[in-house]
């Protein structure tokens, strides 16, 4: 396999930063900040060694949550008198054996379908064995369980999606947990004016492989002051609410200070109840700012620059948020499942574990990332998933992420003390715009430039 390094990407430099939100964002309305290191990057053996980052106090208590099954023991009723000692051992009631977890040191990728898509950005499932692939221009296509690519597309809304700028387009897709009965799904896209829409659609009742483009109901819109940092992820959490990743509005250095302004929806993760009778949405009663005049009721967490892919651990409910850095550091933030929300992840006070544009800063009250890497190893993070599939037990309990520019894939693994360790497990030649998860918990990568889908395996 030909290995592609940062200096030899076969795409224009502007495409490199399509979802990075780095200092070199292509935006005529802003003053770009130069990337810290633009020369060719090579990896030494030191760069492949394991990195350890101590977790934040909030994360450490639950960072190692796994499925724990305890063997239940009961004593069978004895026919002997109470003064007699039973001579048979206790009866063991079988329980499901916990899946052992180990940190992996390497992975491989196998092709699912190659060269079939145009600028694909995401992959997910609808509760069955089909794979749904989102194309940036405004199309959703289906790969059937036998690998067949359906034609025509599942949904085509190119007539209302604006994707002329590198970080715009149809950015996210989430199916109603009860999709088999409701036929409802939600998308996140930028319109022809560059503003964000969270919209609801329904499937054609007569064709499960065809959605109705005329069924759109917009549940939320918000303006984007610049054409970059649009976020785009939508996903249902284990609580049944819809979570939405929103960037800080764009440009460089967060000129509007949206990251530290909870009075705006920008620079946040939102949490909405879209299952009530409201035509749009209602606010969950446990959202952290619901009784705070200084914050928007819709906000679940804040202090984010451009959350490019977040995911819930399907076993524990823990939330992983990959936040794109500016010109020095990329990061992964961790929110344990029992969190009441309200975390401030630090942008633009901090970038990763480091003060931003200042030698010192006050990090009081900020939730720091559990993982970071510098721009010597890439330029734009792509968040992934904790592996909970059953096909490759050796991958179980490892969280995977990648760099969009260099194609590096890392795994994060929580040890027994709650410390997250990291290792680069694959040096790919792909421009990884997203990971995806199928109904069984198997994980895929999306090659934005090559239009291909690959499956992670040992």
Percentage of the chain exceeding pLDDT 70: 79
Contacts of 28 (CB under 8 A, 6+ apart): none
pLDDT attached to residue 416: 86
Which pair of structure tokens corresponds to residue 449?
A: 């430039």
Per the structure, how many domains does the chain have? 1
Determine the pLDDT at residue 39: 34
> What distances in angstroms separate CA 76 from CA 79, 91, 95, 132, 249, one per listed residue?
9, 6, 17, 51, 65
> 226 has which bridge partners?
none
How many Å apart are CA 95 and CA 92, to the nearest integer? Answer: 9
Helix (H, G, I), strand (E, B) or coil at 412: strand
Classify residue 211: in a domain, yes or no: yes
In a domain, 80, yes or no: no
- The proportion of the chain whose per-residue pLDDT surpasses 90, expressed as a percent, equals 76
Q: What is the mean pLDDT of the segment spanning 201-219?
A: 97
What is the helix (H) or strand (E) element at residue 351, kind and residue range? Answer: strand 350-351
Burial of 270 (0-12, 13-18, 19+ CB in 10 A): buried
Cα–Cα distance, 51 to 271 (Å, whole number) = 33
Task: Average the pLDDT over each of 71-80, 325-334, 404-413 and give the range with the smallest value.
Answer: 71-80
- Predicted confidence (pLDDT) at residue 37 exceeds the cutoff of 70: no
In a domain, 87, yes or no: no
Give the residue carrying structure tokens 């990407």.
9
67 in a domain, yes or no? no
Q: φ and ψ at 436, to 5 degrees?
A: -145, 160
Mean pLDDT of 86-108: 70
Write the pLDDT tens digit of every residue in 289-338.
999 999 999 999 999 999 999 999 999 999 999 999 999 999 999 999 99
Please give the average per-residue pLDDT across 168-191, as a whole number. Answer: 98
For residue 338, the enclosing domain spans 6-37+98-457
Mean pLDDT of 38-60: 37
Residue 48 counted as domain residue: no
- More confident call, 16 vs 152: 152
Within-domain flag for 44: no
Alpha carbon distance 104, 410 (integer Å): 10
| pLDDT for the residue numbered 12 | 39
Closest CA relative to residue 242, chosen from 289, 305, 294, 199: 199
Instruction: Give me the chain's average pLDDT, please.
Output: 85
Q: What is residue 98's predicted lDDT score, i.e. its pLDDT?
A: 80
pLDDT at residue 198 greater than cutoff 60: yes
Quick check: 283 and 265 in contact, CB under 8 A?
Answer: no
More confident residue, 19 or 380: 380
pLDDT of residue 45: 31
Residue 85: CB partners within 8 Å, gap ≥ 6?
A: none
Q: How far is residue 106's CA from residue 108's CA, in Å, rounded to a whole number?
A: 7
Task: Name every residue whose Cβ is closer than 8 Å to that of residue 248 and which is 6 or more positions away in sequence.
Answer: 229, 254, 256, 258, 259, 266, 267, 304, 305, 306, 347, 348
127-132 own/partner pairs: CB under 8 Å, 24+ apart: 127/175, 127/177, 127/179, 127/180, 127/439, 128/180, 128/439, 129/438, 129/439, 130/209, 131/436, 131/438, 131/444, 131/453, 132/173, 132/175
How high is the pLDDT of residue 372? 98
- In the numeric block, which tokens belong to residue 20? 């990075």
Q: Give mean pLDDT, residues 135-151.
A: 96
Question: Which one has a higher pLDDT value, 97 or 389?
Answer: 389
pLDDT at 96: 60
> Is 401 a member of any domain?
yes
Q: Residue 51: inside a domain, yes or no?
A: no
Are the C-beta atoms of residues 204 and 210 closer than 8 Å to each other? Answer: yes
Give the CATH number, domain containing residue 26: 2.120.10.30
């Amino acid at each position: 396999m030909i290995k592609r390094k940062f200096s030899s990407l076969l795409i224009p430099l502007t495409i490199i930063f399509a979802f990075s939100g780095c200092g070199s964002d292509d935006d005529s309305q802003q003053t770009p900040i130069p990337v810290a290191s633009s020369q060719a990057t090579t990896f030494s053996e030191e760069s492949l060694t394991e990195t350890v980052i101590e977790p934040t106090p909030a994360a450490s208590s639950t960072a190692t949550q796994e499925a724990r099954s305890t063997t239940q023991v009961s004593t069978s009723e004895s026919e002997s008198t109470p003064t007699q000692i039973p001579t048979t051992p206790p009866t063991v009631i079988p329980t499901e054996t916990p899946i052992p977890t180990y940190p992996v040191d390497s992975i491989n990728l196998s092709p699912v379908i190659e060269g079939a898509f145009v600028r694909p950005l995401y992959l997910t499932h609808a509760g069955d064995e089909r794979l749904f692939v989102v194309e940036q221009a405004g199309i959703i296509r289906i790969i059937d369980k036998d690998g067949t690519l359906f034609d025509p597309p599942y949904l085509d809304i190119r007539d209302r999606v604006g994707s002329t700028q590198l970080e715009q387009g149809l950015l996210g897709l989430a199916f109603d947990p009860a999709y088999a009965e409701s036929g409802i799904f939600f998308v996140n896209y930028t319109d022809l004016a560059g503003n964000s829409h969270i919209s609801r659609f329904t499937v054609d009742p007569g064709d499960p492989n065809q959605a109705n483009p005329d069924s759109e109901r917009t549940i939320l819109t918000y303006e984007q002051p610049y054409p970059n940092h649009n976020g785009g992820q939508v996903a249902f959490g284990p609580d049944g609410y819809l979570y939405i990743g929103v960037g800080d509005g764009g440009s460089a250095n967060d000129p509007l200070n949206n990251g530290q302004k909870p009075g705006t929806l920008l620079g946040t993760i939102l949490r909405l109840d879209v299952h009530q009778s409201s035509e749009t949405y209602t606010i969950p009663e446990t959202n952290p700012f619901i009784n705070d005049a200084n914050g928007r009721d819709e906000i679940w967490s804040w202090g984010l620059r451009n959350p490019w892919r977040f995911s819930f651990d399907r076993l524990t409910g823990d939330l992983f948020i990959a936040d794109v850095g500016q010109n020095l550091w990329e990061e992964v933030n961790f929110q344990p499942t029992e969190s009441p929300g309200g975390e401030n992840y630090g942008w633009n006070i901090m970038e990763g574990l480091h003060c931003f544009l200042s030698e010192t800063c006050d990090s009081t009250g900020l939730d720091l990332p559990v993982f970071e890497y510098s721009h010597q190893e890439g330029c734009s993070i792509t968040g992934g998933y904790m592996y909970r599939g059953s096909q490759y037990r050796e991958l179980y309990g490892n969280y995977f992420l990648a760099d969009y520019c260099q194609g590096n894939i890392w795994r994060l693994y929580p040890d027994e003390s709650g410390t997250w360790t990291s290792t680069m497990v694959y040096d790919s030649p792909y421009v990884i715009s997203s990971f995806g998860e199928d109904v069984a918990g198997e994980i895929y990568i999306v090659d934005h430039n090559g239009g291909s889908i690959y499956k992670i395996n040992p």
